[in-house]
Structure 1
């Protein structure tokens, strides 16, 4: 019974953390209601108490106030210090976050709750209507509010030889102007 209670408490903490993850993406997708209820579904959830993590896998879907996240798998790392505290959420397998006409895609997304950083890696693509931006990595600093897209698909500081040295590309729409004779 104690293990079941622990798992139930942990599941509630995961839902709270997913709400925080939604707020992180709200930096790109403005005006998201992070206080709204979070709904999630998956084919499987596995609580790994000894490893202090939860693995949610198989068609993972998370919804919160119009924000929709899908991935093949999510791993939630936590620690128990009286209550459950979520440290990090990793989503992998065609991660897609959508809200209205805005979409962020990547192979992997990492949300470091302690450092307040979100990183999307691998084939990153941001779309807003007809506007598109692609690169290898998207880094969102929730403290400064600064987002950076670069061509690297692995870690390392700018200018380092770690990871690929791809390029960032994009297409932006231009407002149509009518000229009068």
Structure 2
């Protein structure tokens, strides 16, 4: 099998493993049923790890994971996807930005660290560590050391 074909298969496998349950199945079709596309400036497959470098991006349905580098490891049916450098995880409702992210498919959790910013519409929440469940769309944000989380929320207006 050619190295290019092996890399393509490996990267596709990474994409399939990285985004199995993103989104809320009750409100829209499950993203895991959607085709997956990926892109990067370069990539490699070594052992059971795929690494995409340079504007790496995985897209499935309405969800997108983008970073300078994305790598994935699959062991015993559980995948761990690591993204670093200018990390963005974008859903139709939220955008999460950070310096590094680790997504574990077994529990549908993505942990984003560094200078973390979560936006939903005009609402903004900042901190240094965000734990986000991609299935339930619930988030927990924390601050490092003596730091504080910060946020701005705009109330919804009805009828005006």
Normalised to the residue count of structure 1, the TM-score between the two structures is 0.72
**Structure 1 stretches lacking a partner, 5+ long:** 153-163
Q: Secondary structure at the match of 2:56?
A: strand
State the superposition RMSD in angstroms: 3.0
How far residue 141 of structure 1 moved from its aligned partner, in angstroms, is 4.7
| The one of 145, 170, 180 aligned to 2:151 | 170
Any conservation in 1 of the 2:55–2:68 contact (CA below 8 Å)?
A: yes
How far residue 99 of structure 1 moved from its aligned partner, in angstroms, is 3.2
**For structure 1, which segment, 38-47 or 5-14, has the greater mean C-alpha deviation from structure 2 after superposition?**
5-14
How many pairs does the alignment contain? 157
Normalised to the residue count of structure 2, the TM-score between the two structures is 0.80
Tell whether 2:2 aligns with 1:10. Answer: no
After the TM superposition, list the runs of 4 or more consecutive aligned residues in structure 1 that deviate by more than 4 angstroms: 2-9, 141-146, 176-179
**Structure 2 stretches lacking a partner, 5+ long:** none
Q: Which structure's relative contact order is higher, taking Cα pairs within 8 Å and 6+ residues apart?
A: 2
Tell whether 2:30 aligns with 1:33. Answer: yes
C-alpha distance in 1 between matches for 2:68 and 2:129: 19
Please show how residues 38-49 of structure 1 align to structure 2 within 5 Å.
38-49=36-47
Please show how residues 88-167 of structure 1 align to structure 2 within 5 Å.
88-100=80-92, 102-141=94-133, 146-152=138-144, 164-167=145-148
Q: Match of 1:73? A: 69
